[in-house]
A and B are shown apart, each in its own frame.
Chain A
C-alpha cells in the first residue's frame, strides 16, 4: 500500500527508460518482429502450384496433432528432446558443479590450466566437433576401438552413432563433452564470489571440506544452479547443429536422433529434393516456443521466486 503511494508520488523515472531502451529497441526490431512474422505463417496455407495464400486458422496445428504422418514424428522428437535434456541434467551439470568445486576448494597449482583446458571444447564450432567425434567413434579409423581394446574392453565397441539404440545417447554425451565448460564457469564464478567471512565463520564452527561444500556453499549457489538448469533446458530444446552435422538432415538412423530443432529445420527449409514447407514449419516452431515458454515461465514465476538470494 505504502509502496504504491510512493510510486505515484515519484516523478517519471526517465533513467529506467534510458537503461531499457537500446536493448529493447534492437531486440524488438531485429529479433521479435521477424520471428513474429515467421510464426504468423502457421495460420496460412500456400498452394504448391498456384501459390495462392489462404488463411486457415488452426488447421496446420490440427494437421500436426491429428495426421499420423506428423503427430508420430513430432512426439518422437519431443521425447528424444526430453531424453537429451535429462542426460545433460544428470551428467553435464553435476560434473560441472564438481569440477568447479574442486577448482575452488584448494589452492591448486595449475588451476588456470585445468579451467582453460576443460572449457576448450566449448569454443569449437559444430563442424569440427562433428568431424572429430565421427573420426574417433568411426569403426574404420578406430580411435575409440583402439582405446577400448587397450583397456581390455574391445568387445564393448559398437558403431555407436549408427545404431538406433545408442546414437542419441552418444550424441548427448558428445554435447555434454562440448558444453561442460558452461556450468563449470558459472558455478566457479559463483563459488568464488562467496564472501570469505561466510567461509571463515563456517570453519570456526568446525564445518570444513565436503560438509562445508554441501551444507553452505551449495545452498548459496542454488540460484546459479537454477540459471544453469534453465539454460540447459532452453539450449537443449533449441539444439539442432550437432545432430545436423553428424547425422544429416534426416537424423538417422531411422530418425532415432530427431530433435524438435532438426524436425523444424527440415520441415521449414526442406532438404535436397524435399521442398520446404514454411507454414507447417512455423506451426512446429510455435509449438516448440510454447513448450520452452512453459518451462521458462515455471522457472521464473515459481522456482526463481522461491530461491533465496543472498547479497554478497
Chain B
C-alpha cells in the first residue's frame, strides 16, 4: 500500500518536473537569447540570432562600448542606491500604514484605505509636470532624492494594498498576548507583526523594485545629469533616431540583469526563511 502510494507520488513528481521544466524553458529562452547575442557582432546577431557565438562571430564590442562611453559603473551605483533607498521607505512606511489600516478600527478607515489605493489606479507619469515643479521649488532636481521621493510615493499604494491584506491574517491572539504583556503598539508592530509578515515584505519588495530599476521616465525628467544618471537612462544613449547600437544595448541590458537578480535572490531568501520560521512556530 505504502509502496504504491510512493510510486504514485514519484510519477506525479515526474509530471510536475515536466510541467515546470516546460515553463522554465519558455521563460528562459528569450533571456538566454539576449545574453548570447550580447557577445556577437551586429551582423551575426541578425544573420542568425539563434547561433551561439563562435570564433568568427564572437565580439565584445557591445561591452567595450558600454564600458568606455559614459560612466557606467557610476550609473550602476546610482540605480542601485536609488532602488535600495526607495525600497526601504516603501517597505517601512507602507508596512506602518498597512498596520494602522488593518489593526485599528477608526473613523474613515476604509475611506483612508481607498484614498491610499487611488495611486495604483492612475499612472504617476501624468503628474510629471507638477512633480518637476515641486522638485525645482525644493531644489531636489538632479539629486537622487527627487527619484527616491517619487518612487516611494508611487510604490506606497501597492505596498499598503498588499501588506494590509497579509497583516489582517496575523493571529490576533498573538497581538492580544503582547498587549497583556505590556508591549506598546510600536513594539507590537516592530517586534511581533513585522517579523511575521516578512514573506509579504519580501514579495512587495520584489514587485516594487522592478519598475524602479527599469524606469526610464523619471530619471530622464528629474535627474538627467551625468552624476545622477541611472543605468536604464544611460543605456538610452544607444537608441538613436535612425540607428540603434544593438550591441551596446544588449550588453547594457545583460549587465543590468545581474544586480536585480542579486536583489531578487536576497528577497526570495527572506521569503523562504520567513515562511519556514513561521512554520516552526
Is there contact, CB below 8 Å, between B34 and A128? yes
Contact partners of B119 in chain A: CB under 8 A? 27, 31-32
> Do the beta carbons of A132 and B34 come within 8 Å of each other?
yes
Q: B264, A116: Cβ atoms under 8 Å?
A: yes
B152 at the interface (CB under 8 A from A): yes
Q: Is B96's CB under 8 angstroms from A23's CB?
A: yes
- B92: A residues at CB distance < 8 A: 22
Given contacts A19-B96, A27-B156, are A38 and B130 in contact (CB under 8 A)? yes
B13–A106 touching, CB < 8 Å: yes
Minimum C-beta distance from B181 to chain A (A): 17
Q: A207 interface residue, CB < 8 Å from B?
A: no
Q: Quick check: is B112 within 8 A (CB to CB) of the other chain?
A: yes
Q: Chain B residues near A126 (CB, 8 Å)?
A: 214
| Residues of chain A in range 263-290 having any CB-CB distance to chain B below 8 Å | 264-265, 268, 281-282, 285, 288-289
Give the most central of B16, B157, B246: most A CB within 10 Å: B16
Chain A minimum-CB-distance residue to B92: A22
Question: By the criterion CB–CB under 8 Å, are A37 and B127 in contact?
Answer: yes
List B contacts of A223 (CB < 8 A): 165, 169
Q: A209-B12, A285-B126 are in contact. Are A135 and B33 (CB under 8 A)?
A: yes
Among residues 210 to 237 in chain A, which have CB atoms less than 8 Å away from a CB atom of chain B? 223-224, 227, 231, 234, 237
Q: Are B129 and A34 within 8 A (Cβ)? A: yes
A234 to B23, CA, bound (A): 25
Bound-state CA distance A120–B260 (Å) is 10
Q: Does chain B have a CB within 8 A of A117? A: yes
> How far, in whole Å, are A284 and B261 apart by their CA atoms in the complex?
37
| B58 contact set on A, CB distance < 8 A | none
Contact residues in B for A103 (Cβ distance below 8 Å) = 20
Q: Which residue of A lies closest to B206 (CB)?
A: A185
Contact B100 A143 (CB under 8 A): no
| Bound Cα distance from A131 to B248, whole angstroms | 13
Q: Distance (Å) between the CB of A259 and the closest chain B CB?
A: 12
A148 is an interface residue with CB less than 8 A from chain B: no
B263 to A, closest residue via Cβ: A123
Q: Does B169 lie within 8 Å of A309, measured CB to CB?
A: yes
Q: Does B126 contact A30, Cβ atoms closer than 8 Å?
A: no
Give the residues in chain A near B216, CB-CB below 8 Å. Answer: 125, 127
Kindly list chain A residues whose C-beta atoms are within 8 Å of the C-beta of B31.
120-121, 124, 132
Cross-chain contact A189 with B199 (CB below 8 angstroms): yes
Stretch at the interface among A52-60, A70-78, A292-300: A292-300
Contacts of B160 in A (CB 8 A): 23
Which residues of B are found within 8 Å of A193, using beta-carbon distances? 169, 199, 275, 278
The yes or no answer to B149 lying at the interface (CB within 8 A) is yes
Partner of A26, one of B34, B152, B200: B152
Contacting A at CB under 8 A, from B123-141, are 123-131, 134
Contacts known (A125-B214, A292-B121); A19 close to B189, Cβ less than 8 A? yes
**Does A108 lie at the interface of the complex (its beta carbon under 8 Å from any beta carbon of B)?**
yes
Interface string of A152-181 (1 = CB under 8 A from B): 000000000000000000000000010011
Tell me the dominant secondary structure on chain B's binding face: helix
Which residue from chain B places its CB closest to the CB of A300 in the assembled complex?
B114
Known A-B contacts A114-B20, A119-B264, A189-B203; the reply to A24 vs B130 at CB < 8 A is no
A27 to B97, CA, bound (A): 11
Closest Cβ of chain B to A190, distance in Å, is: 9
Closest to B172 in A: A311
A269 to B172, CA, bound (A): 50
CB-based contact A29/B199 at 8 Å: no
Determine which of B105, B162, B169 lies in contact with A7 in the assembled complex, contact meaning CB atoms within 8 Å.
Answer: B105
Residues 175-199 (chain A) with a chain B CB within 8 angstroms: 177, 180-182, 185-186, 189, 192-193, 195-196
- Given A102-B16, A106-B13, A116-B264, A192:B124 Cβ within 8 A: no
Chain B contacts of A125 at CB under 8 A? Answer: 213-214, 216, 232, 253, 256
Q: Please encode chain A, from 13 to 52, with 1 for each CB lying within 8 Å of some chain B CB and 0 for all others.
A: 1011011101110110111111101110000000000000
Q: Indicate if B7 sits at the interface (CB-CB under 8 A).
A: no
Complex Cα distance, B92 from A180, in Å, reads: 27
CA distance A13 to B156 in the complex (A): 23
CA distance A250 to B256 in the complex (A): 29
Chain B neighbourhood of A132, CB < 8 A: 30-31, 33-34
Tell whether B153 is near chain A: CB-to-CB under 8 Å. Answer: yes
Inter-chain contacts of A119 with B (CB < 8 A) = 27, 206, 264
Q: List 16 A-B contacts (CB under 8 A).
A: A15-B185, A24-B97, A30-B131, A30-B150, A34-B134, A38-B126, A38-B129, A38-B130, A99-B20, A114-B23, A116-B265, A119-B27, A124-B253, A185-B206, A237-B121, A285-B123
> A-side interface residues toward B, CB under 8 Å?
3, 7, 13, 15-16, 18-20, 22-24, 26-27, 29-35, 37-39, 95, 98-99, 102-103, 105-106, 108, 110, 112-129, 131-133, 135-136, 140-141, 143, 146, 177, 180-182, 185-186, 189, 192-193, 195-196, 209, 223-224, 227, 231, 234, 237-238, 240, 261, 264-265, 268, 281-282, 285, 288-289, 292-293, 296-297, 300-301, 309-312
6 nearest interchain CB pairs?
A: A34-B130, A34-B127, A125-B214, A30-B153, A19-B100, A23-B97
